[in-house]
Amino acid sequence: MENNKFEVIVIGGGPAGMSAALVLGRSRIRTLVLNTENPRNNVTKHSHGFLTQDGKHPTDIFKEAKKQLNKYSSVEYRNEKAIDLIKIEDGFQVKTEFNAYKTKRVVVATGHRDNIESIGIDGLVEVYGKSVYPCPFCDGFEMADKKLAVIGDAVKAPMFSKVISHWSNDVIVFTNGDKVVDIELIKSLKSKNIEIIEDKIIKLHSLKGKLISIELDGGESVEREGGFLPDTKSQESTNFAHKMRIPSEEGRFGMSFYVIDENKETEVPGFYIVGDAQTGWSGVAVSVAEGSKVGSAITHQIIMEKWKN
Ligand SMILES: Cc1cc2nc3c(=O)[nH]c(=O)nc-3n(C[C@H](O)[C@H](O)[C@H](O)COP(=O)(O)OP(=O)(O)OC[C@H]3O[C@@H](n4cnc5c(N)ncnc54)[C@H](O)[C@@H]3O)c2cc1C
């Protein structure tokens, strides 16, 4: 069992987890990274907005991270899925399908999963991450000045279209059968030439992931080249924070976030959450920063503990 004991276990090896492991490795902290290698942005071909990596394929960024981590012998990387996390005396036990590991500190960096199928629009999965995206800061530049759709409910879609109109002056809101009741909002969108279409969507037509048109219930097809979703029905990839009863609060856009301190530590000592797992949406650069922050904070705590003993 000694071989299965680590100073830190990082669950999840996306930008947040790998960045935490890098700092821990450089600090010679015995660290285990468990990763199923399926980051949230795997559906897209280009990751944007992270300085020095702008436009790179998410898989290439991950491969480079794994290669760089390999240099640090105190970090063990395993392609294993954490299936359970149990609080034990003086730390945690992390179970995978084949192994059980012990640690005093655990970093949850397992991210969120989008659930596009559950939106229930035929053809949406095919375009998600290819011409229809969740985040204008990530992909708005590439979609600029195109014929854009904002697809969502009667509250979130009109609100989101205000943001999207910064990138294109040809934006149509599709509420898929939902009725917009906020008269002021309707007026406000009309004043900026943003049309609202409330018809049910029959199908999104596309070619190789590129949106071509949106077919409506009435038989009409509206030409569109791309679009954005205000709500991807995302859920946490793991229930570990919930299991540890970590309190959460309501954040921006109705997303909740877990309460952490400035070291990314929760009210359960030794239990940390970073990246999308903590916020619901951090983006790559912020996830890397949060991973870096937790890596150095944990190292500092370990050094001070050793100093006292
Ligand atoms: C279509 C799309 C496009 C995007 N484009 C951009 C962009 O251009 N720029 C940008 O900044 N952001 C973009 N994002 C957001 C970005 O993908 C996330 O914010 C970022 O990946 C969060 O990093 P993370 O490390 O927290 O989580 P993730 O990257 O999701 O990594 C989590 C990791 O944990 C692993 N994991 C999950 N459960 C377990 C388990 N039980 N055991 C072990 N491992 C587990 C997963 O396999 C994964 O490797 C995009 C997202 C989407 C959906």
Give residue-wise pLDDT tens across range 236-268.
999 999 999 999 999 877 788 999 999 999 999
CB neighbour list of residue 294: distance below 8 Å, 6 or more residues apart: 20, 107, 263, 264, 272, 274
pLDDT score recorded for residue 32: 98
CB crowding 183-195: b at 16 or more within 10 Å, else e:
eebeeebeeeebe
Confirm or reject: Cβ of 209 under 6 Å from ligand 1.
no
**Residue 70: C-alpha distances to residues 33, 34, 228 (Å):** 11, 14, 37
Nearest CA to ligand 1 atom 50: 41
Domain stop point among 172, 193, 228: 228
Mutate which of 131, 143, 237, 240 for ligand 1 pocket (most atoms within 8 A of beta carbon): 237
Confirm or reject: Cβ of 276 under 6 Å from ligand 1.
yes
Examine the domain organization and report whether 244 and 217 are in the same domain. Answer: no
pLDDT score recorded for residue 130: 98
For the range 183-192, what are the long-range contacts, defined as Cβ-Cβ under 8 Å and sequence gap of 24 or more?
185/158, 185/159, 186/158, 188/162, 189/158, 189/161, 189/162, 192/162, 192/165
Give the closest residue to 284 by CA, choosing from 298, 297, 274: 274
Domain stop point among 205, 228, 251: 228
Domain stop point among 185, 211, 228: 228
pLDDT score recorded for residue 259: 95
Examine the domain organization and report whether 172 and 135 are in the same domain. Answer: yes
Examine the domain organization and report whether 204 and 249 are in the same domain. Answer: no
CATH of the domain at 103: 3.50.50.60
Domain that holds residue 11: 2-113+234-308
Distance CA 120, CA 59 (A): 28
Q: What is the number of residues in the chain?
A: 309
Structure tokens at 37: 């290698």
Structure tokens at 219: 């038989």
Residue by residue, pLDDT tens for the chain (309 residues) are 457 999 999 999 999 999 999 999 999 999 999 999 999 999 999 999 999 999 999 999 999 999 999 999 999 999 999 999 999 999 999 999 999 999 999 999 999 999 999 999 999 999 999 999 999 999 999 999 999 999 999 999 999 999 999 999 999 999 999 999 999 999 999 999 999 999 999 999 999 999 999 999 989 999 999 999 999 999 999 999 999 999 999 987 778 899 999 999 999 999 999 999 999 999 999 999 999 999 999 999 999 999 998
Structure tokens at 111: 């991210």
Planar angle of CA 56, 57, 61, nearest 5 degrees: 75
Confirm or reject: Cβ of 298 under 6 Å from ligand 1.
no
Distance CA 34, CA 78 (A): 5
Distance CA 295, CA 299 (A): 6
Nearest CA to ligand 1 atom 48: 39
Quote the DSSP letter at residue 98.
S
Examine the domain organization and report whether 192 and 58 are in the same domain. Answer: no
Examine the domain organization and report whether 128 and 222 are in the same domain. Answer: yes
Looking from the CA of residue 36, the nearest atom of ligand 1 is: 47
Confirm or reject: Cβ of 140 under 6 Å from ligand 1.
no
For 29, phi and psi rounded to 5 degrees?
-90, 130
Domain count, the chain: 2
pLDDT tens by residue, 36-59: 999 999 999 999 999 999 999 999
Examine the domain organization and report whether 109 and 242 are in the same domain. Answer: yes
Examine the domain organization and report whether 265 and 205 are in the same domain. Answer: no
Distance CA 158, CA 6 (A): 49
Structure tokens at 245: 């009863």
Type of residue found at 289: A
Distance CA 224, CA 217 (A): 16
Examine the domain organization and report whether 101 and 58 are in the same domain. Answer: yes
Looking from the CA of residue 133, the nearest atom of ligand 1 is: 1
pLDDT score recorded for residue 2: 57
- Find the 12 Cα to ligand 1 centroid distance in Å: 9
Examine the domain organization and report whether 129 and 205 are in the same domain. Answer: yes
Examine the domain organization and report whether 239 and 138 are in the same domain. Answer: no
Examine the domain organization and report whether 121 and 84 are in the same domain. Answer: no
Examine the domain organization and report whether 205 and 131 are in the same domain. Answer: yes
